Amino acid sequence: MLAVPAIFTLKRRAWWALLAVIVFGLSLGWWRGSQYMLKLADYQKLYGQKVTLIVTAEQDAAYNKYSQLAFTANNIVLAGSGRHLVGQISVSGFGMNAVFAGDRLQISGKLQSTYGANQARMSYAQLTLLGHHNSVINELRRRFTAGVQSALPEPLASFGMGLLIGQKVNLPDSVYQSLLMVGLVHIIAVSGYNLTILLRSADKISGKRSKRLTTFLSLLLIGLFLLFAGTSASIVRAAIVSVLSIGAGYYGRRFKPLLLIALAAAITAFANPFYVWTNTSWYLSFLAFFGILVLAPLIKARWKSDRLRNSLPLNVALESLCAELMTLPFVLHTFGQISFIGLLANVLVVALTPLAMLLTLVAGLAGMLIPAFVGWFAWPAVTVLNYMLDVAHLLSRIPHIFLQNLGFSWPEMIILYVVLAGVTALLWFKFKRRGGTITDMIGEKN
């Protein structure tokens, strides 16, 4: 019923047309989310009980600190009853030497509740292989990972894989803690930043020769990146935003950032309502996206000098600062932690991320294809990756630069976001008075 007025008002620019569309969208989302939450209630009956499940491994398993094979699983079926359970669960257990992405497994153990993106967890499970379903993509990913590991020493190999596709299961705890303390964890978390680098590379390769070639190459890279990096909340969001912006550019239109954020949020939330209810990375991704795509250009517009606007370190610092500002209240409330040296660390390290990704790719391909000469191709990556990790280690040793266990309530978080919204609105109105449009700035930037 709500769809009818929404459809008829799509081409009319009026407050009641916008209201009809919003009410329809919220109602649709509420209905679909409610259906998922009803299905989620099936887990409540199983928590604390020993159960047997049939699952599919989402990624290759890695040994955790308890010497168990740990991985995330989906396509969950309750053995015996044949009942399907929605979402995904984290699994760690024994009984097999290795578990690969796509493997169909029987797992037995006590099911426990958990937080975050997973709907449940099972530790100390008994693992039994039911079927090995390998694919060309999975085989290529494993061969490339082996190539990186043969070309680069640890922890550089794990760090390089984290930069490329967000694979950080083998990253030592000490390295991860250093990156966390200086606000650099985001560079090893698969995200839109990795994808942006690939798309810019595609644009430079094709140049101005063919708009169709650039579009095709960009879409191909997005598809390959999703296959290799997986479908986490942040990368799905980045892929949707990239596809929408590429489509707008192909037809000669410039996108409105707020509309793009809202559309990407609606698509991902409708596809997987658990993003809204349980996935903190989904919220962090959109908050950082808002900071980089809306707040940073508004601040940059007030810079008078073209030299400042084209300065790579200043742009990195500005975008990092805006992303941190937008995510800080949420991080304080959810995790209770803050890094006081994140801005400096991002300026010193993030600008080298594209180069580090390229050099890691070269080293990995050399290790996979020409292992006899891998040393000649690996030393540039070793140099850059060592510098990035050394900066993180040195900065993390500074006393009192990282605070944890900070109590931050809902009202305090909301107050901070109201302040940030007010600052953004003020910058926007001043920018509009000068006759500028944020879409122009976004178009120039991309």
Least confident of 42-56, 410-424, 432-446: 432-446
Same structural domain, 106 and 164 = no
Q: What is the pLDDT of residue 232?
A: 63
Q: What is the pLDDT of residue 266?
A: 84
Same structural domain, 165 and 90 = no
Same structural domain, 262 and 397 = yes
Give the C-alpha separation, 406 to 85, whole Å. Answer: 36
Domains held by the chain: number: 3
Same structural domain, 177 and 148 = yes
Tell which wins on pLDDT, 203 or 107. Answer: 107
Nearest Cα residue to 249 out of 238, 262, 260, 263 = 260
What are φ and ψ of residue 78, in 5° steps?
-80, 115
Q: What is the pLDDT of residue 141?
A: 79
Claim: this prediction has a pTM higher than 0.85: no
In contact, 375 and 353? CB cutoff 8 Å: no
Q: What is the pLDDT of residue 384?
A: 94
Same structural domain, 119 and 154 = no
Q: How many helices (H) and strands (E) does the chain have?
A: 19, 9
Residue 44 has pLDDT above 80, yes or no: yes
Alpha helices in 166-279 (DSSP H): 173-181, 192-206, 211-229, 233-250, 257-271, 274-278
User: Beta-carbon neighbour count of residue 351 at 10 Å?
Assistant: 14
Same structural domain, 40 and 54 = no
Encode pLDDT of 343-363 as tens digits: 788 878 877 887 888 888 889
Q: What percent of the residues of the chain are helix, what percent strand, and what percent coil, each to the nearest 5?
A: 65, 10, 25
Same structural domain, 240 and 348 = yes
Q: How confident is the model at residue 6 (pLDDT cuts 50, 70, 90)?
A: low
What CATH number does the domain containing 75 carry?
A: 2.40.50
Q: What angle do CA 262, 265, 266 make, to 5 degrees?
A: 85
Q: What angle do CA 88, 271, 81 make, to 5 degrees?
A: 40
Total residue count of the chain as it appears in this document? 446
Residue 12, both tokens: 């009319």
User: Beta-carbon neighbour count of residue 300 at 10 Å?
Assistant: 17
Q: Please identify, among 134, 154, 183, the residue that sits at the C-terminal boundary of a domain.
A: 134
Encode pLDDT of 230-284 as tens digits: 666 667 777 777 787 777 777 777 767 888 888 888 888 887 787 787 778 788 8
Give the C-alpha separation, 74 to 409, whole Å. Answer: 33
Nearest Cα residue to 122 out of 82, 167, 70 = 70
Chain-wide mean pLDDT for the chain? 81
In percent, the amount of the chain with pLDDT more than 90 equals 18
Amino acid identity of 136? V
Same structural domain, 130 and 72 = yes
Q: What is the pLDDT of residue 446?
A: 42
Same structural domain, 157 and 266 = yes
Residue 29 has pLDDT above 80, yes or no: yes
Residue 406: which H helix or E strand, with range?
none
Least confident of 74-88, 96-110, 220-234, 397-411: 220-234
Same structural domain, 203 and 254 = yes
Residue 138, both tokens: 């999975």
Nearest Cα residue to 71 out of 20, 119, 146, 122 = 122
Q: What is the mean pLDDT of residues 378-386?
A: 93
Q: How confident is the model at residue 321 (pLDDT cuts 50, 70, 90)?
A: confident
Q: Please identify, among 109, 134, 159, the residue that sits at the C-terminal boundary of a domain.
A: 134
What are φ and ψ of residue 235, in 5° steps?
-75, -35
Q: What is the pLDDT of residue 294?
A: 86
- For 48, 156, 157, 368, 409, the CA distances from 147, given in Å and listed in that order, are 42, 13, 9, 4, 47
Least confident of 80-94, 230-244, 411-425: 230-244
| Omega within 30 of 0 (cis) for the link into 155 | yes
Same structural domain, 399 and 285 = yes
Least confident of 238-242, 312-316, 356-360, 442-446: 442-446
Q: How far is CA 275 from the centre of its chain?
A: 12
Residue 105 has pLDDT above 70, yes or no: yes
Q: How confident is the model at residue 443 (pLDDT cuts 50, 70, 90)?
A: very low
SS3 400: coil
Q: Please identify, among 134, 149, 172, the residue that sits at the C-terminal boundary of a domain.
A: 134
Q: How confident is the model at residue 383 (pLDDT cuts 50, 70, 90)?
A: very high
What is the domain extent for residue 150? 141-445
Q: How confident is the model at residue 323 (pLDDT cuts 50, 70, 90)?
A: confident
SS3 string of the chain?
Answer: CCHHHHHHCCCCCCHHHHHHHHHHHHHHHHHHHHHHHHHHHHHHCCCCCEEEEEEEECCCCEECCCCCEEEEEEEEEECCCCEEECCCEEEEEECCCCCCCCCEEEEEEEEECCCCCCCEEEEEEEEEEEECCCCHHHHHHHHHHHHHHHHCCCCHHHHHHHHHHCCCCCCCHHHHHHHHHCCCHHHHCCCHHHHHHHHHHHHHHHCCCCHHHHHHHHHHHHHHHHHHHCCCHHHHHHHHHHHHHHHHHHCCCCCCHHHHHHHHHHHHHHHCCHHHHHCHHHHHHHHHHHHHHHHHHHHHCCCCCHHHHCCHHHHHHHHHHHHHHHHHHHHHHHCCCEECCHHHHHHHHHHHHHHHHHHHHHHHHHHHHCHHHHHHHHHHHHHHHHHHHHHHHHHHCCCCCEECCCCCCHHHHHHHHHHHHHHHHHHHHHHHHCCCCHHHHHHHHC
Same structural domain, 169 and 117 = no
Nearest Cα residue to 230 out of 95, 358, 110, 60 = 60
